[in-house]
Amino acid sequence: MSAILQTPKDWPSVLLARAGAKDPGNIDEAVQSGAFDGLRRAIRELGPEGTTAAVEAAGLRGRGGAGHPTAAKWRTAAGTEARERFVVANGYGADPAASTDRTLIEADPYAVIEGATIAAFAAGAEQVFLSVRATDTTAVTRLQAAVDAASSRNFIGDDVLGSGRRIEVEVRPVQGAYMLGEETVLLKALDGKRGQPEQRPPHPATRGFRNAPTVVQNVQTLAAVPAILTGRKGAAGTILVDLRGHERSGVAEVPLGTPLRDIVELGGKPAAGRKLKAVVVGGPTGGILPPDQLDTAYSYEDLRAVGAHIGSGSVIVADDRACVVDLARLLTRYAADEACGKTIPCRIGVRRLAEIGERLSTGTSRGGDLGLLEDLAADVVGSALCDHERLATLPMMSGLRYFRDEVDAHYLRGDCPAGVCRTVRLATDRAPVGAPA
């Protein structure tokens, strides 16, 4: 589990409310502090439609990155004619540099189990899969133990809380590539198939796991549900952020809409004599934002408007020792390597974007590269099958948008102002970088 960062007193603590527990796996302690109260209310008071309506009224949206309204998915799944339905909790945590979902599972496995059970109740599903990254062994064992404990108390299983409803919960460790986090790929992985995204519509809520209606929900989304049903204030409004700050790093629960500046400040100040240069928001396909965008609210729409996104919840600060071109090159290369190969613009286009980045950072750019970058990025976005390629252009495009001077220094002069890229200078009248005088 990553460190949990201290946040200001007036920020609500919903997802990590039980994070301080001595033993997060202890079901008695969890129940004492309110676990499964939400499930009880859903079953005894609200009923499936009432539960969905309550989640809708709270305005809960998916924490997996895209921010889809949660209740809409439940309603679609419940309203689709089918013999069986499924709920899948997405706890894969695709971004290797972010550990929000894993931290949540380790800190409060019962919230995830309860939320998933409520979702199954509302959507009319009998089977829940909790998918976790197989290499996160602590999360896997803790979640499994919690499922066993919850099942021995009839919170899940054949007769949920004496209601006669059957909801089986199964922990499914999965492992694969970055793309496994994408919902249609995850559904394939649960079925042991090659992981490549599917065309949508039909969305998984109508046709998902084994062609049955399937609600795929990020674990944070699910963990917020019990809090909503028990009427906790601000329950639908927080999200976990994995901050890699100047002095401190860790996971923090922040209210959606918090200015980026406040999040960055949780990580402390730049080292003496340094200053903040950029913030990478959204993980490997995140946008690289300059300090003058720090007033942007950390919310789905506002981040997209400035060329970043919530994505994996990762927020990484870089001071003036970093080179934006190098960062963008690295992120784009990772995104290209992880592309699944199904769509040609993604498989080849993102690779070509990465190569443009690599040419910039080695000082071997060709005339027209920047124009090509913009054209190609537009084409890749325009012909995307899954969100990966739509987002994979963000690092390079935000770099170009906000750090034009630095990009131009690389492009026109083969020069890296931050001294990170080992460029081959193009101009013959200058010594190559690093050459003895």
Size of the site for other proteins (CB under 8 A): 69
Question: Using CB under 6 A, which residues numbered 69 to 128 contact ligand FMN?
Answer: 90, 92-94
DSSP-derived letter for residue 208 is: -
Residue 240, helix vs strand vs coil: strand
The token pair at 118 is: 């409520």
**First-to-final CA distance of the chain:** 49
Q: Which residues pair with 240 in a beta bridge?
A: 253
Residue 409, helix vs strand vs coil: helix
Q: Do 19 and 35 form a contact (C-beta atoms < 8 A)?
A: no
* Smallest gap from residue 126 Cβ to ligand FMN (A): 20
* Smallest gap from residue 282 Cβ to other proteins (A): 13
Contact between 339 and ligand FES per CB under 6 A: yes
- DSSP letter string, 37-64: HHHHHIIIIIHHHHHHHHHHHHT-B-SS
Measured from the Cβ of residue 198, the count of other Cβ atoms closer than 10 Å reads 19
* Beta strand 214-218 pairing with 249-255: unpaired
Q: How far is CA 366 from the centre of its chain?
A: 35
Mark 77-116 with x for binding to other proteins (rule: CB under 8 A) and - for no binding: ----------------x--xxxx--x--------------
Taking CB within 5 to 8 Å according to partner kind, which of ligand FMN, ligand FES, other proteins, none is near residue 346?
A: ligand FES
Near ligand FES by CB under 6 A: residue from 109, 197, 226, 287: 197
Taking CB within 5 to 8 Å according to partner kind, which of ligand FMN, other proteins, ligand FES, none is near residue 389?
A: ligand FES
**Which residue, 217 or 238, is less far from ligand FMN as judged by CB?**
217
Mark 340-379 with x for binding to ligand FMN (rule: CB under 6 A) and - for no binding: ----------------------------------------
Q: How far apart are CA 83 and CA 91, in angstroms?
A: 26
Near ligand FES by CB under 6 A: residue from 346, 376, 380, 394: 346
Q: How many CA atoms lie within 13 A of 232 on its CB side?
A: 23
* Smallest gap from residue 159 Cβ to other proteins (A): 31
Residue with the two structure tokens 């994505």:
311
The token pair at 107 is: 């800190």
Question: Using CB under 8 A, which residues numbered 286 to 345 contact other proteins?
Answer: 314, 316-323, 326-327, 330, 334, 336-342
* Beta strand 238-244 pairing with 214-218: unpaired
* Smallest gap from residue 343 Cβ to ligand FES (A): 4
* Smallest gap from residue 198 Cβ to ligand FES (A): 9
Q: How far apart are CA 350 and CA 383, in angstroms?
A: 12
What are the Cα distances from residue 54, in Å, to 68, 77, 352?
16, 17, 47
Near ligand FMN by CB under 6 A: residue from 106, 108, 114, 182: 182
Near other proteins by CB under 8 A: residue from 61, 277, 309, 388: 277
Q: How far apart are CA 241 and CA 98, in angstroms?
A: 8
Q: What does the binding site for ligand FES look like in residue numbers (CB under 6 A)? A: 179, 196-197, 339-340, 342-343, 346, 385-386, 388-389
Q: What does the binding site for other proteins look like in residue numbers (CB under 8 A)? A: 1-3, 23-24, 93, 96-99, 102, 134-136, 138, 141-142, 175-177, 180, 189, 191-196, 242-250, 267-268, 270-271, 274, 277, 284, 314, 316-323, 326-327, 330, 334, 336-342, 347-348, 351, 418, 420
